[in-house]
Amino acid sequence: MKFSALCLAGFAAGTFGKCITKPCTGTSIETSFDVVTLPALTTTITGQATTIYAKREEPTADPASQILVQCGNAASRVSSACGCILSTTSTVTIVETVTATEAAEAIVTTTETITTGATATEYATPTVTVTQPIVNGNFEGYLKTANILPWNIGGTGGRVETINGVNPCSSSGGGVYCAGGSVVIRAFPPNTAGGYASIQETFTAKASSTYNLSFMYRCLNYDANTRIEAYFQGTKIGTSNGCANTSSFTRVTSGMQFTTDETGTGSLEIRFVNQSGSLPYLYFYADDFQATRVQ
């Protein structure tokens, strides 16, 4: 098919809507050209929201702290490996608390500083807490238990009572000393010559050690023979007959000592004695029994 020059020019210019072509056969054909402009294509995809998870990487442990953990005990810190790994300026501080397994007399905290690659330095700063081997020596346990255990009551007769509301004080030896509690015992020995009421306690002290016994007492309706005797493991260790016609207590601080054996276990007995046997109204107050190690 052939087109006229006019038709081709108009087509090239894009300014016409129609052109007439004349084919070689002689038949006239009207051909129509329309220019169509398509809009830009926009595609929208709608889906559900999705949560995106980020992988968390655990931080690597500090190598220096790991070395200190592995080299911080007594066995490993002296090894050549720990000595090479730790620098000469690194220190390891070890705190040890040692409690005696016999009768604990003190709790000692020892601080030891070791500097690897240099000279080891050790020093100790003790914190001492004295433990009294006599249990409930001031009888204040009565306020909680209504008894004076581990003390037991004995003797040849008479009776021992517990009195609440007395804080015994003593002016003997210079100055004034008060027990500071409120509970004391009151002992009534039998009215027989040499008869006594007693309290006894078994305790554990430091093995193979010497202790000084101290206590406070007061006598009423007494005579010159009235006395208190102390026994350790069945053997008399001292006598006190310091009764005085006063409201003040007599305080015994010397003259009565005992020595423990290799076990540290011992039995203490305190006897309240009616030596004359002619004092039907005799009685004693007593308190503040203590044993202090002297060697």
Tens digit of each residue's pLDDT (9 = 90 or more) over 244-279: 888 899 999 999 999 999 999 999 999 999 999 999
Lowest-confidence region among 68-72, 134-138, 180-184, 225-229: 68-72
Residue, of 111 and 290, whose pLDDT is higher = 290
Residue 120, by phi and psi: left (phi above 0), alpha (psi -120 to 50) or beta?
beta
- Mean pLDDT to the nearest integer, 235-250: 92
Q: Report the distance separating Cα 14 and Cα 30, nearest Å.
A: 17
Residue type, 259: T
Strands 227-232 and 257-259 turn out to be unpaired
194 band by pLDDT with thresholds 50, 70 and 90: very high
Q: Report the distance separating Cα 30 and Cα 155, nearest Å.
A: 150
Dig out the tokens for 169 from the structure.
């004080």
**pLDDT > 60? residue 86:** no
CB contact set of 14 (below 8 Å; sequence gap of 6+)? 35
Dig out the tokens for 140 from the structure.
């204040």
In the three-class reduction of DSSP (H, G, I as helix; E, B as strand; rest coil), residue 235 is classed as strand
Burial state string for 180-192 with b = 16 or more CB within 10 A and e = fewer than 16: ebbbbbbbbbbbe
pLDDT of residue 245: 86
- The answer, as to whether pTM is greater than 0.85, is no
Residue, of 29 and 181, whose pLDDT is higher = 181
- The 10s digit of each residue's pLDDT in 46-72 is 555 556 555 555 556 666 666 666 666
Alpha-helical segments (H) within the chain: 5-13, 63-70, 80-85, 142-145
- Concatenated DSSP letters of 133-153: SSTTTT-TTHHHHSS-TT-EE
Q: Report the distance separating Cα 142 and Cα 140, nearest Å.
A: 5
- Mean pLDDT to the nearest integer, 32-49: 54
pLDDT of residue 67: 60
Q: Report the distance separating Cα 211 and Cα 256, nearest Å.
A: 9
